C-alpha cells in the first residue's frame, strides 16, 4: 500500500532523514518508534508532502507520490492527524468534520458525522462548540475524526495520545482498536510501548533518521535490550 524507499529529507540545509525506508501493507497497523528528534514526525511529514524529499521515492497504491502537493497526496487516500491536533479554532466540531468530508476514492460505506460520533461519543455532546473551546482529549478525537472523514486508505497518527490523561488515552486506544477491526490501515507514532505492542502488527525503530530495526510485536516484546537502547523504556 505505502512504500517509502530510501528517501532523504532536509530542514533547510540540515539533513534529517537518511535513506529512510518503510512499508505499510493493507490492513496493517505499523508503528514508528524511537526517541525524540530521531525523524519519526519528519518521516510522516515527508510522506504527506510537507517536507521536500530528495533522492528516494514514495509509492502509494502503486502510484509514485514523491513531492506531490499535499492536497493531492491527501486526495490519493492518505490522512494525517498531526501532532498538536491543529483543529480549526473558528469552526465548531461538526463544521470541522464536514469541512474535511471527502470521498475521492469512492469507498463504499464512507464515514459520516454520525459514525464519527459513534466512534467518539464524547464529541457528540460538543457538536456545536468551537474547536478551540473543547478539551485536549476532545480535540484529539476531533483530529482523528477529521482525518477519517476524508475516507483514507491509510491513516497517519502522530502522537495521538500525547499529553492526555490515562482515561482519555484508554478511550483513544479503544477507538484505534475498533478502526483496526474495520481493517483500517494505520501508521502510528506514539510513546506508549505497551499499547503499541498490543495493537501494532509491525514496528520500525528509528535512530538518527534511518531505520535501525524492524519486526513484529513478538520480536520487539522479547528484545528488552533493544527497547532500552533505542526507545528508552525498560
Residues that bind another protein (CB under 8 A): 48, 50, 69-71, 74-75, 79-80, 82, 86, 88-92, 95-96, 98-102, 104, 128-130, 146-147, 150
Grid coordinates belonging to 38? 530521531
Q: How far is 211 from 132, CA to CA, in rounded Å?
A: 37
In whole angstroms, the minimum distance from the beta carbon of 96 to another protein comes to 7
Question: Please, what is the minimum distance in Å from the beta carbon of residue 75 to another protein?
Answer: 5
Q: Which is nearer to another protein, 34 or 77 (CB)?
A: 77
**Grid-cell match 526507545, residue found:** 231
* Shortest distance (Å) from residue 220 CB to another protein: 30
How far apart, in whole angstroms, are the C-alpha atoms of residue 66 and residue 73?
9
Minimum separation from the CB atom of position 70 to another protein (A)? 4
Which residue, 102, 88, 174, 190, is CA-closest to 139? 88
- DSSP class of residue 173? H
Running DSSP on this structure, what letter comes out for residue 131? G
If the CB atoms of residues 5 and 102 are measured against another protein, the closer one turns out to be 102
Judged by CB, which is closer to another protein: 71, or 225? 71
Q: Which is nearer to another protein, 96 or 140 (CB)?
A: 96
In the complex, least distance from residue 156 CB atom to another protein, rounded to whole angstroms: 10
Q: Is 182 exposed, middle or buried (0-12, 13-18, 19+ CB in 10 A)?
A: exposed
Closer by beta carbon to another protein, 102 or else 217? 102
CB atoms within 10 A of CB 5: 16
Amino acid at each position: 500500500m505505502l512504500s517509502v524507499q530510501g528517501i532523504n529529507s532536509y530542514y533547510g540545509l540540515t539533513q534529517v532523514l537518511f535513506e529512510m525506508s518503510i512499508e505499510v501493507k493493507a490492513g496493517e497497523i505499523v508503528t514508528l518508534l524511537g526517541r525524540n528528534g530521531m525523524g519519526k514526525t519528519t518521516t510522516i511529514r515527508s510522506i504527506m508532502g510537507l517536507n521536500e524529499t530528495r533522492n528516494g521515492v514514495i509509492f502509494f497504491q502503486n502510484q509514485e507520490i514523491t513531492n506531490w502537493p499535499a492536497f493531492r497526496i491527501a486526495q490519493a487516500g492518505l490522512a494525517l492527524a498531526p501532532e498538536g491536533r491543529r483543529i480549526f479554532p473558528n469552526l465548531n466540531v461538526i463544521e470541522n468534520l464536514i469541512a474535511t468530508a471527502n470521498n475521492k476514492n469512492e469507498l463504499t460505506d464512507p464515514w459520516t458525522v454520525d459514525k464519527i460520533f459513534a466512534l467518539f461519543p464524547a464529541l457528540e455532546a460538543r457538536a456545536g462548540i468551537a474547536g478551540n473551546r473543547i478539551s485536549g482529549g476532545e480535540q484529539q478525537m476531533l483530529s482523528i475524526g477529521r482525518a477519517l472523514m476524508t475516507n483514507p486508505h491509510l491513516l497517519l497518527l502522530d502522537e495521538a495520545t500525547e499529553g492526555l490523561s490515562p482515561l482519555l488515552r484508554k478511550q483513544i486506544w479503544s477507538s484505534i482498536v475498533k478502526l483496526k477491526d474495520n481493517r483500517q490501515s494505520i501508521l502510528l507514532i506514539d510513546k506508549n510501548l505497551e499499547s503499541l505492542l498490543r495493537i501494532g502488527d509491525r514496528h520500525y525503530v528509528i535512530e538518527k533518521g534511518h531505520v535501525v530495526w524492524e519486526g513484529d510485536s513478538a520480536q520487539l516484546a522479547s528484545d528488552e535490550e533493544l527497547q532500552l537502547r533505542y526507545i528508552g523504556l525498560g
